[in-house]
Structure 1
């Protein structure tokens, strides 16, 4: 494997893009096992942590599969991946697209929270509260917090009763996970983020659409500041 040459992106993005290109060109075929991270790090002249971050992006795009105890394998590309992968690839690898993703997320989630206020059912409200309770009880490891927060936002989309909103959230879930990870990496006050979620939930339960929209907008702007600061 040749070393990536694009200097405009972060190093892990260059590594991920290089491996992605090899998959697209058939150099790496479905089922092929990638060399160990240590070997790739030496080959690319980067740290093992950089390769790990590149792998995380590629997993999010559905291009590779990390199997504990077995290694890392190229995924078979199905129809769903062919549709979703280009969007997630652009969002996960393109720094210039991060601001656009955050803007789209804000518009999308303002719609979902407003819909949830108007149309939640007992079951839908319970799912939001369960996701929030899981986040509050999580052991504060990064991945647990990120997964719980993602489920909280998806539960709101489910409660909105709008399948288009829900499908968009699910389609963008891995790209959103990337932004959530950046948010949690950049903040020392996870409890403050959870408190914002609790206030959003209470507004939804009260069917106070105006309050819920204001809280969600403030929450997302808060997250955006963390993400954009982390990406610079």
Structure 2
């Protein structure tokens, strides 16, 4: 019987100093494709990726976290990271793009999508959240409140809070959609219009949202999420003038 042809030898190398997360994502996706890894195969260990790609642990973990959110890999505690489905650089890097004339227009378009996702996610999270989910949401809320008190704005701690709510739905598609729209969503936390106090009026409502989810009250969670997004839209209208 003929033996199967050996897999090609594939190596990884240090990356240029650019957008490390994007570069690592492409490099890892290329490796998965070229090494012909199959679902169930184990990926190189975190330490190996750090050394061969020349990046830090936080970058590797962010990339692996994104791959996990997209359903590409599975992390098995104490065992490693395993491939769940085949990918390539052309498929892993296909974010939804926003073609808008101005930052204000781009934020408004993103806000329309956020309404659909976040209102529904809040309702589902209130109905389904586990105690573990609730602790994670609360931890993100505390980080967000500390950042707001220290810096006057919550920054990306706000994004982490909403991601925790998405995860509490138990539906991985919410986070996968956000990962595909990350660039548009992150613009809300990049001090739009050079205003660090953007959407500051909505900040206190985030604790109310946490409490509604903790109470298992989907209707209240929907009402508060809607109010938060209404305030963001009002601020956009003012700042765009």
- Normalising by structure 2, report the TM-score: 0.57
Aligned partner (choices 123, 143, 147) of residue 134 of structure 1: 143
SS at match of 1:207: coil
Deviations 1:95-114 (A, max 9, x none): 54432211111111001101
Structure 2 unaligned blocks of 5 or more: 1-14, 24-87
Q: Deviations over 1:101-157 (max 9, x none)?
A: 111111110011011011101111111100000011126437x72110000011000
Q: Aligned runs of 1:40-59 on 2, under 5 Å? A: none
In structure 2, the partner of 1:195 is 204
Return closer, same or farther for 1:133/1:107 CA change in 2, 3 Å cut-off: same
1:79 and 2:90 matched: yes
Quick check: which has more Rg, 1 or 2? 2
Q: Give me the whole-angstrom Cα distance separating, in 1, the residues matched to 2:99 and 2:167.
A: 23
Contact 1:146 1:177 in 2 (8 A): no
Aligned to 2:227: 218
Aligned partners of 2:191 and 2:198 also within 8 Å: no
**Rounded Cα–Cα distance in structure 1 between residues aligned with 2:22 and 2:99:** 13
SS at 1:83 equivalent: coil
CA apart distance, 1:189: 7.9
| TM-score, reference length from structure 1 | 0.59
Unaligned residue ranges in structure 1 (runs of 5+): 1-30, 35-58, 64-76
Closer/same/farther in 2, CA of residues 126 and 32 from structure 1, 3 Å limit:
closer
CA RMSD, Structure 1 to Structure 2 (Å): 3.7
SS at match of 2:93: helix
Out of 145, 154, 157, the residue aligned to residue 145 of structure 1 is 154
Q: Quick one: structure 1 residues 97 and 178, their matched pair in 2 at CA, closer, same or farther if it must change by over 3 Å? A: closer
In structure 2, C-alpha distance between the alignment counterparts of 1:213 and 1:185, rounded to whole Å:
30
Question: Distance between the aligned counterparts of 1:126 and 1:153, measured in 2?
Answer: 14
Query: Which residue is equivalent to 2:65?
Result: none
Higher helix share: 1
